[in-house]
């Protein structure tokens, strides 16, 4: 599931995905 959200978010949020959760 984490990968799914990662794909939705832009590349810039790739590292901030943890912050955005």
Please check whether residue 1 is in contact with residue 8, taking contact to mean a CB–CB distance below 8 angstroms. Answer: no
> What's the whole-model pTM score?
0.10
pLDDT at position 11, please?
Answer: 63
Give the pLDDT of residue 7.
64
Summarised one tens digit per residue, pLDDT across range 1-21 is 566 666 666 666 556 566 555
The token pair at 1 is 């599931």
Alpha carbon distance 10, 1 (integer Å): 16
């Amino acid at each position: 599931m984490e990968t799914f959200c990662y794909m939705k978010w832009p590349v810039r949020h790739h590292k901030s995905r943890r912050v955005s959760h």
